[in-house]
Structure 1
Amino acid sequence: MPASVDTAAPTGAARRRASGPVPWVAMYHSVGDCFDDPYRITVTPERLNAQLRWLHRRGLRGVSMSELLTARTRGEGRRLVGLTFDDGYADFVDNALPLLERWGFGATLFVLPGRLGGDNAWDPLGPRKPLLTADGIRRAAASGVEIGSHGLTHVDLTRADDATLTAEVAESRALLRELTDTPVEGFCYPYGTLDQRAADAVRDAGYRYACAIDPGELNGLFALPRVHIGQHDHAVRLHLKHRLHRLRRRPVEGLK
């Protein structure tokens, strides 16, 4: 049996809990110049615009994770696609936000309140990319973008001691709630890595859901898989990723 991030004793209702097809969640990072991009985390604004147009033409709508999950728990929203942007790069406000507004799409932006106005120092190969300031995050939130936590400083939670784990998960949420004066429902595991201990910490901190990349044997709302979308994802590759994601992933516990 696959592991679950819900460690509570199973009840009759829990055993009968519905599992639904995995939602399609796109994972983006930086939107800007791709010239020096060793980690393939950047798409140009032109490519992002083409990808959003591809979704629109197929009757799909990009939304925040909270909107997506709210619809799916009601058994609706099969034409919704979660759009997520990791790390909180400063280019989100200048390059991604206008395109989301053009297409009428929502998104979730996962940020690092311990690195406000800093850069991606965790990437040893660089290049250094500036991160959003507090004002930039507030501007994104005021535009309707959901703000979620990516931890405080972008550390691998599976290697963190207890104090660091609490700070990265719980303190980051408290800081973002104070910064944006909005609910902070979502968490995104740095590097996409998680284990049961990290998932339990996220749940216990009061989050509603958490995004990974490939959560392995973990399943449920605190181990949601995502699909990396990059500069080379044109129409054919997007079509394949959209179809194969549901075929390769198990149904998600807690969704209809």
Structure 2
Amino acid sequence: MTTTRNSRPIPILMYHQCATPPAKGTPFRSLTVDPAVFARHMRWLKAMGYRGLSMRDLQPYLRGEKQGKVFGLTFDDGFVNVAENAVPIMADLGFTATNYFVAAQVGGTNAWDAEKGVPTAQLMDGAQIRAWAKAGHEVGSHTIAHANLKECSADQAREQIGGSRKMLQDVSGESVDAFCYPYGYYLPEQCALVAESGYTNATTTRRGRVQPGQDMMELSRVHVLRSTHFASMMIKLFTPREELRGR
């Protein structure tokens, strides 16, 4: 079967929390997007004819088997506030998303952020993860312990990457095919390890849109922050400027 390739780069949006942002001066405050702001982002894109897709649903477009006005929609860490606040918005618009869960913190908190002064926030438990999947969204992996893979030995990295996939499959009852490198830190050889562990794709924190032919184990994303407004969203999504920053 002959395939065609998208003529335009595909943006994959990166969100974290969907909640009322903490007080000014709080570390990493920018990673919490107010639900009303998230709703505006999604409705702007819907009005422009775009569809938000999970990494699973985006695969045919990334491979060039389909064409269309689509963007990837991802959330890091698995926060409960995403289930509470973002899911109803996505359901209303017919969008799907991938959430990258930290396997050992299912039902726990963002403990890896504590030493940075980031406020504690609850993560989805097993029942909430299964509800996420039942709603049509995708369960992805963010390692077992939100690990800095650059600091892991080969055996540790294998366990963090492959072990988390098995743990999350056991919790969700779904195939876990999408991976995300915590902090965006990884070694080149770990990309091969992700593929060997059974994942079909992996996202980074590298800024930019996915170009035709880009390595599926090192996919760029578009950072969406608390302060991202319409003009900056359009720059991030539809101009080369985003690819030129933060490399």
- State the TM-score, normalized to the length of structure 2: 0.87
1:191-206 alignment to 2 at 5 Å?
191-206=183-198
SS at match of 1:213: strand
- Cα 1:215–1:242 shift into 2, 3 Å: closer
| CA deviation profile, 1:155-205 (whole Å, cap 9, x unmatched) | 111111122211110010011111111111100000012221221110110
Structure 1 unaligned spans of 5+: 1-17, 250-256
Which residue in 2 is equivalent to 1:229?
224
What amino acid maps onto 1:70 in structure 2? P
Aligned mates of 1:226, 1:95 — CA distance in 2:
22
Q: State the match for 2:168 in structure 1.
A: 176
Q: Is the contact made by 1:116 and 1:131 (CA closer than 8 Å) also made in structure 2? A: yes
The ranges of structure 1 where at least 4 consecutive aligned residues each deviate by more than 6 angstroms after the TM superposition are: none
Q: Of 87, 102, 110, which aligns to 1:120?
A: 110
CA contact (8 A) 2:179 2:199 kept: yes
C-alpha separation in 1, matches of 2:177 and 2:62: 16
Question: Which residue type is aligned with residue 27 of structure 2?
Answer: P
Q: Distance in 1 between matches of 2:159 and 2:136?
A: 27
Deviates more, 1:186-195 or 1:20-29: 20-29
Aligned equivalent of 1:29: 16
Flag the 1:245–1:199 CA change in 2: closer, same or farther, 3 A: farther
Match of 1:15 in 2: none
In structure 2, relative to structure 1, the CA distance for the partners of 1:245 and 1:31 (3 Å cut) is farther
**How many residues were matched structurally?**
230
Which residue of 45, 49, 52 maps to 1:55? 45
Preserved CA contact (<8 Å) 1:148 1:188 = yes
Q: Compute the displacement of 1:33 (Å).
A: 1.4
Partner of 1:207: 199
Q: Indicate how the Cα distance of structure 1 residues 245 and 82 shifts in structure 2: closer, same or farther if over 3 A, else same.
A: farther
Q: Specify the code of the residue in structure 2 equivalent to 1:105.
A: F
Q: Which has the higher contact order (CA 8 A, sep 6+)?
A: 1
Over 3 Å counting, the alpha-carbon distance change for 1:246 and 1:223 in structure 2 is farther
- Quote the sequence identity (%): 30
Q: Which residue of 2 aligns with 1:239?
A: 234
Q: Is the CA contact 1:24–1:246 (under 8 Å) kept in the aligned structure 2?
A: no
TM-score w.r.t. structure 1 length?
A: 0.84
Would the aligned equivalents of 2:207 and 2:242 in 1 still touch at CA under 8 Å? no
Q: Which runs of 5+ in 2 are unaligned?
A: 209-213
